Structure 1
């Protein structure tokens, strides 16, 4: 009886879906900030990436 009441209140698929949406939203926010930084100063961003790969 306790197992059936627990399984009816906890929906694993819904939890995975919510976690996926939250992680996707966080990834989108990070990508927006990176793109804004690139648009504001593209030469500094490309210079630092090439400099770090040469080291």
Structure 2
């Protein structure tokens, strides 16, 4: 009665876990590049809108 092809299909929980890990790694890579840019040149990386509102 049970369809064996349905049981061998991709597990939904496993798919969510893989998608979560992939998004987590992408976020980590973006944060590494942003932090490296900030360490390299902190004055250029900061927002200029805060400086214009002070003057």
Cα RMSD (Å): 2.1
Report whether the alignment pairs 1:30 with 2:30.
yes
Please state how far the C-alpha of 1:21 moved relative to its aligned partner.
0.1
In 1, distance between residues paired with 2:10 and 2:31? 33
1:51 corresponds in structure 2 to 49
Tell me the distance in 1 between the aligned counterparts of 2:5 and 2:21: 27
**Larger helix share, 1 or 2:** 1
Q: Which has the larger radius of gyration?
A: 2
TM-score (norm 1): 0.75
Q: Which runs of 5+ in 1 are unaligned?
A: none
Question: Is there any run of 5+ residues in structure 2 with no aligned partner, and where?
Answer: none
What's 2:20 paired with?
20
**TM-score for both structures, normalised by structure 2:** 0.75
